[in-house]
Amino acid sequence: MASRQSNADAHPKRVLVTGGAGFIGSHLLDLIVTPDAEITVVDNLSTGRIENIAHHLPGVRFIEQALDDALRTLQEERPFDQIYHLAAAVGVDLILEDPIGSIETNVEQTSALLKYASTHGNPPTLIASSSEVYGKPGASVFSEENDILLGPTTTGRWSYAHCKAIDEHLALAYTQTRSLPTVICRFFNTVGPRQSGRYGMVLPRFVQAALKNDPIQVFGDGRQTRCFCDVRDVVAVLPKLLKNQDAHGRVFNIGTDHSIEIRVLAETVINELASESTISLVPYSDAYPEGFEDLRHRRPDLSRVQELTGFTPTITLEQTIADIASSSLHAKTPSKENA
């Protein structure tokens, strides 16, 4: 498919990154920070860490504030050329621990951001979504136009999926009714340095245990499969999508389509780090509240993003494991965790 590029420069003058001190946001900054770019990061550091972006300060403007509060200040300034909306409450543990805060963050902040963008220049705006939106469909490979099947509202685990689905509907509605060029990216198990295991992120949790030679806890029977894509591969495609007009008003799966069983993932971590850890299988009933549901398999169809951008992940899982371990060993003790 031929690409039609927008009028935005390769390095636009003004860029807003929400959640820019977080895991994905900080890696995006590593990619887009240039001498001629004016980048503003908004992050309340509830799950982000200032250490993630310290090497970009003070060149990057940092606003430590809730997004809706920051937008009230930013509306007095000239519009941004691009917006990356990555701020969100993420992680199964966090969603279950603080359902009200997570729901309000994921819906209300996205609504405020879209409203701001549509009244301040209508810049291309990327909205971070999640593979969780697919819920629990019968298909083994998830395609962007598949029907979705979400669990009941009485099971808290599904609130994140419902919220992200609402975010997507909002973004697409702004494109259709207010001509705001939005791009929705459904991330599939993004992993890499700076990711914390605090809120249930599986790979950093495994690496941290392996570095201590502690038992690695695998929930369920360990035969469920996931596709893990390095964050540095993920962020590389985001600017390409945002500045391509053929991507506007569309949804894209972002990740790798190489599946691995969670138990095999734990074994791989142990082998790569020469750890003495053992694997401990933990029933879901012991790990999560009653009624928790998990998917057996989650694998993306990447044909849409590959057709438009040529996206092909290049960083191996083994390299990602090594880099997470190195990052963990050299990290300072943070005051606030990065999700």
Specify whether 116 is catalytic.
Answer: no
**Residues 95, 101: Cα–Cα separation, whole Å:** 8
Which one of 84, 116, 134, 160 is the catalytic residue? 160
Residues facing residue 252 across a β-bridge: 185
Q: For the chain, what is the HEC assignment?
A: CCCCECCCCCCCCEEEEECCCCHHHHHHHHHHCCCCCEEEEECCCCCCCHHHCHHHCCCCEEECCCHHHHHHHHCCCCCCCEEEECCCCCCHHHHHHCHHHHHHHHHHHHHHHHHHHHCCCCCCEEEEEEHHHHECCCCCCECCCCCCECCCCCCHHHHHHHHHHHHHHHHHHHHHHHCCCEEEEEECCEECCCCCCCCCCHHHHHHHHHHCCCCEEEECCCCCEECCEEHHHHHHHHHHHHCEHHHCCEEEEECCCCCEEHHHHHHHHHHHCCCCCCEEEECHHHHCCCCCCCCCECCECCHHHHHHHCCCCCCCHHHHHHHHHHHHHHCCCCCCCCC
- CA angle, residues 129, 130, 133, in degrees to nearest 5: 105
The two tokens of residue 21 are 């001190």
**Residues 123, 180: Cα–Cα separation, whole Å:** 7
- Cβ atoms of residues 238 and 28 within 8 Å: yes
Residues noted as catalytic: 160
